[in-house]
Amino acid sequence: MSTAVRLSSTRRFFAIFLLSALLVAGVGSYYASTHPDGLNFVAHRAGFGDEAKASPTSDSPFAGYSTKGIGNQRLSGGVAGVAGCLLVLGIAGGLFRVLRRREPGSANAGAGPAHGPPTTSGL
């Protein structure tokens, strides 16, 4: 296993993973379908779509995945996507940092069998 693990350093893997998320949100999302999603589509077809109320946060700077004050659609959506990613990363990353087991360099860092197979912590 150790050879496979060393092929790519953890730090580099994380950087690539983050970069791909930012690229999808910041660049790729411009090319996303603008059709209503399944729920909205069904809601309008079935006749309850008009029950939807505008979100109380619809005047937030990134409402609707576009950035207030940026006219260029591509840039506006890209900035909102990247901002959203960073917000999620900050909140989730911070939460998981607090929740994690801290292992002071002990023998079983990582997925040690001391915590049982994934089966025991499953739902």
Partner 1 sequence: MHVPDGFLDAPTSIATGAVAAGGLALALRGARRELDDRTAPMAGLVATFVFAGQMMNFPVGAGTSGHLLGGAMAAVLAGPWTAMLCISTVLLVQALFMADGGITALGTNITLMGLVGVGVGWLVFRAVRAVLPDRLGSVAPAAAVGALLSVPVAAAVFSLLFAVGGTAPVSSEKVFVAMVSWHAVIGVGEALITFLVVASVVGVRPDLVYGARSALRARALEIRGPAPAAIPAAETP
Q: Which of residues 94-123 bind partner 1 (CB under 8 A)?
A: 94-97, 99-103, 105-113, 115, 117-119, 121-123
Q: Is 27 exposed, middle or buried (0-12, 13-18, 19+ CB in 10 A)?
A: middle
Shortest Å, Cβ 59 to partner 1: 8
Q: Quote the tokens at residue 49.
A: 């779509």
Q: Which of 68, 73, 74, 88 binds partner 1 (CB under 8 A)?
A: 88
Inter-residue long-range contacts of 51-58, CB under 8 Å, 24+ positions, other chains counted: none
Cβ of residue 71: shortest distance to partner 1, in angstroms? Answer: 19
Minimum CB separation from partner 1 for residue 70, in Å? 15
Residue 57 interacts with partner 1 (CB under 8 A): yes or no: yes
Q: What is the DSSP letter of 100?
A: S
Within its chain, how far is the Cα of 16 from the centroid?
Answer: 14
Nearer to partner 1, 41 or 72 (CB): 41
